[in-house]
Structure 1
Amino acid sequence: MRGADLSGKLRSGKQTLVLESRISDSRCGKLWFPAPPQLKLKVDLKRVLLRSPWRWALLSLPLLLLVAVFWGGQQVLSPEARHRFRRPGDVVLLGIDPIGANADVVVAIRLQRGQTRITQIPRDTFTHSEALGSWKIGELYSLAGAEAVQEEVAHLVGADFPHLVVVHEGVVAALVDALGGLTVTVPTRMVYRDRSQGLFIDLEPGRQKLNGQQVEQFIRWRGRDGDIGRLERRQEVIGALKDVFQNPATWARLPMLIQVLEEEVKAGQFVTNLDLQDLPTIAKLFTSGGAVVDTLPGREDYYRGLSYWFAEEGDAPPEPVGLSPRQDFLLQQQDTLPSEPAPPPERGALPPEFVPPALQDRLPLPAPPPVVPPPIKLPVEPVEQNNDQTGEP
């Protein structure tokens, strides 16, 4: 077991925000899974936002950041990291998968005068260290915590990111619903079901207005374009969100948006080491110029049989010697590895609810039953009976 304490204070007039978190981890195999924090909230968020001259920018900033992150987990920043703060403009946003194991979304945001740059880092980006070996950047969260991902982002982007924000997956849906939905273009028919994650995607193609749950489906859909397609759809959602905030009709929804934010902050779903007194400065930088959304330059390639995203300026893969940490971990879970990959299941071999509809037609047809010829009936010759009564043999 290990733990970390986090406390941050904001003074806005007579209001004070105190965040106290107790972080504890439980070990599962070789992986560390952070537990959710417990928060104490002593602030009237509604009064802070309504009295701020930058209330619209204050409200739009977390929404834009939430869409960039999309889903997440908990605040796990150590107290020592708070002293590295120099400029309220460089933030790393992590989105943790529903089970709290990996960082499915990694975003670096640099807020500078005249321009805001949002760099999306694919979760399959290759990382290597002598201590941990070769892993994907999204897997570093379960191995070494959020600070390890934060340092790797600084190495890849070439800038210091002292701030960390992690958000729960349901926040985006609630805020989008409070906005009245977002209008995006669904490029193709999206159908997918995964009962283990509680993920059900069902979207028709075309330009349409999506509610919060449908926006989550739109971003989480994984087609043939893989993670790169997800990043492109996330860019479209960010652009649609900015268009909504430029509409004066959105101002009428301010009380509802504030209520949603207040509930999410109290529930610990949106936690950060950023002080609220710095939000006006960040929001002013964010809204003073255009936002540029890009993806970490690189290429997709394979290493030790696994697909990675290799950054142009990132670490080169070492020569493969022995087993990778992932392969070593898998070997400990089973006695032997199969000599050859198992063939794909035949159509009809699995119940329909376990096979995504999009894959039903791709499965091979079951082999036809063997043809057994009917038995051949040979003619039976009649047996002649001996009617001789002479008694001779």
Structure 2
Amino acid sequence: MRDPNGRGNAERRSKPRKRRRESYEDEETRVYSPGVGKVERRRRKPWKMILGFVLIIVAVAALSAVLGAYNFMKTLNPGTGSLEAAQEPAPSERTNILILGIDGGVNGNGDKLGRGPKRSDTMVVVSVDPDLKKVGVLSIPRDTRVRIPGRSGYDKIAHAHAYGGPELAMKTVEEFLGVPIHYYARADFEGFAKIIDTLGGIEMDVEKDMHYEDPAQGLKINLKAGRQVLDGDKALQFVRYRQYPNGDIGRVRAQQKFFAAVIDKFFQMKTVWKLPSLASQIKECLETNMDPEDMVRLGSILARMDTNSIEMAMVPGRDAMITDKGHTLSYWVADKPELQKVVDRLLRGIDKDANSLIKVDVLNGTGVAGLARALAERLAEEGYTINSVGNFSTQDIKQTRILNHMEDSDAANSVARALRRQGIQARIYRDVKLGEEGDVKVTVVVGEDFAEKAGDGGTEDGETP
């Protein structure tokens, strides 16, 4: 999938450092050793707000209500992360965070059996859009079949963390989905259980008896069907259970159901009084590469949202048994056309059905041939109906502008957001009179600021539009 911002991976982040590879622990996974080739931690200045850490856990478990209790966080200090952030988004741009649930502790501490961090047990991308005031949450099944950068052939996406830690996991997800991943947050299961206990448990309707044991993982699941309040230990059993008819896909759907229940719990007023304890626990179980300033910025955005602003989905696809590297394994194979639609909606804020109702003229306001046609093609990719492509009355426009021919600004704002995804900050001007002659809602006058963004997308030399 093409990066919507037109940037290559090298532009979005520095080249990942090489890490030592261990021998296979089993037929599927190699272990990532965080102590070898570890990126040096940045020293962070003291900060008196933990709300950003609450934000990140909340993003996956939908704990955004905590951010409304801003004053409770002023006396608490955030933890530290170990990786440099990828290219940081501008304050008004969408921010994408990869949430990693690891059964092995964080910061290289390992689990109760003395093993270091391995495969990510849970992978979720949380996308915060300050313009639309929406949060998209996309769950990625751990068995999703992908290419992992730097490795041959296909593999399961959960193995990326085992091979190269959160840095390689970010890069893998970024290339798989075709969107930039700006930050990561890595949490361990023991901390998750403590947070649920502090909340007083989560009421759930467990649809079936759940029984499963895996001594190798130290995992024992024993839940009875029926409506009940799950404490931390039982909640952890619920979200880790995989013995559904459709395997990990059933687990992802159960997790989303659980997270929705957590949202409701956090919006109860009595939860506010538990914020100091929650903040302290979140700090202990979470590692992230976000700066405190970015946490506060995202926290202030989410504090203005409600539960209706959050939309969850899962990578669409199908189960398949595929032989790779001499082993026949079960994979989740993504349906790429359907996945693109989900990514457009949740992670890019693009509604192609709504965009198709907006008829747009694109005019070249420069002497550079092909700019209008190149921009029109990009708008068409996002679903906008292109009425015509031509030349503006003058050829000396420096900054791209939007002429709004409607009484309201909805269509113009939609096109403005699309241009921002192309790296263009266009101003909107009212021009209702021009729109009286037809049903064109918006005219985009392309300026010289788009020239460097257009690349080779223009037309033949001499054809100005």
The TM-score bracket by the shorter chain reads 0.5 to 0.7
Provide the aligned length of Structure 1 versus Structure 2: 273
Distance 2:296 2:189 in 1: 25
Per the alignment, in what secondary structure is the counterpart of residue 185 of structure 1?
A: strand
Alignment TM-score, normalising by the size of structure 1? 0.62
Matches within 5 A, 1:177-196: 177-196=197-216
Question: What does residue 312 of structure 1 align with?
Answer: 335
Matches within 5 A, 1:332-347: none
Cα contact 2:60–2:259 (8 A) shared by 1: no
Q: 1:241 to 1:43 in 2, by over 3 A?
A: farther
Q: 1:68 to 1:155 in 2, by over 3 A?
A: farther
Question: What does residue 126 of structure 2 align with?
Answer: 109
Q: 1:29 to 1:123 in 2, by over 3 A?
A: same
The Cα of 1:273 is off from its aligned counterpart by 1.0
Distance 1:24 1:310 in 2: 28
The Cα of 1:191 is off from its aligned counterpart by 1.6
User: Is 1:96 the counterpart of 2:111 in the alignment?
Assistant: no
- Which amino acid is the alignment partner of residue 271 of structure 2? T
Distance 1:261 1:131 in 2: 34
Cα contact 1:75–1:271 (8 A) shared by 2: yes
Question: What does residue 272 of structure 1 align with?
Answer: 288
User: Is 1:240 the counterpart of 2:261 in the alignment?
Assistant: yes
- Which amino acid is the alignment partner of residue 312 of structure 1? D
Q: 1:180 to 1:131 in 2, by over 3 A?
A: closer
Q: 1:33 to 1:148 in 2, by over 3 A?
A: closer
Per the alignment, in what secondary structure is the counterpart of residue 49 of structure 2?
A: helix
Q: Report the RMSD for the aligned CA atoms in angstroms.
A: 3.1
Of the three residues 217, 221, 226, the one matched with 2:247 is 226
Q: Mind listing any 5+ residue stretches in structure 1 that lack a counterpart? A: 1-22, 50-54, 315-393
1:194-247 alpha-carbon deviations (Å, 9 max, x no partner): 222211111111111111111000011111331011111111121111101111
User: Is 1:33 the counterpart of 2:32 in the alignment?
Assistant: yes
Distance 1:88 1:280 in 2: 15
1:140-198 alpha-carbon deviations (Å, 9 max, x no partner): 22234433322232233231112111112211111111111111111111122222221
Q: 1:233 to 1:68 in 2, by over 3 A?
A: farther
Distance 2:99 2:59 in 1: 8
- Which amino acid is the alignment partner of residue 288 of structure 2? T
Of the three residues 298, 318, 324, the one matched with 2:317 is 298
Cα contact 2:204–2:230 (8 A) shared by 1: yes
Distance 1:103 1:259 in 2: 24
Of the three residues 109, 116, 134, the one matched with 2:154 is 134
Q: Mind listing any 5+ residue stretches in structure 2 that lack a counterpart? A: 1-16, 25-29, 64-79, 105-114, 338-465
Question: What does residue 49 of structure 2 align with?
Answer: 48
Q: 1:138 to 1:64 in 2, by over 3 A?
A: same
Q: 1:40 to 1:182 in 2, by over 3 A?
A: farther
Per the alignment, in what secondary structure is the counterpart of residue 118 of structure 2?
A: coil
Alignment TM-score, normalising by the size of structure 2? 0.53
Cα contact 2:54–2:279 (8 A) shared by 1: no
Q: 1:88 to 1:121 in 2, by over 3 A?
A: same
- Which amino acid is the alignment partner of residue 236 of structure 1? K
The Cα of 1:301 is off from its aligned counterpart by 1.5
The Cα of 1:278 is off from its aligned counterpart by 1.8
The Cα of 1:65 is off from its aligned counterpart by 3.6
Over the matched positions of the two proteins, sequence identity in percent amounts to: 26
Per the alignment, in what secondary structure is the counterpart of residue 143 of structure 2?
A: coil
Distance 1:230 1:59 in 2: 25
The Cα of 1:32 is off from its aligned counterpart by 4.3
Task: Specify the structure having the higher radius of gyration (Cα).
Answer: 1
Cα contact 2:160–2:172 (8 A) shared by 1: no
Per the alignment, in what secondary structure is the counterpart of residue 258 of structure 1?
A: helix
Question: What does residue 329 of structure 1 align with?
Answer: none
Distance 1:232 1:109 in 2: 16
Q: 1:154 to 1:83 in 2, by over 3 A?
A: closer
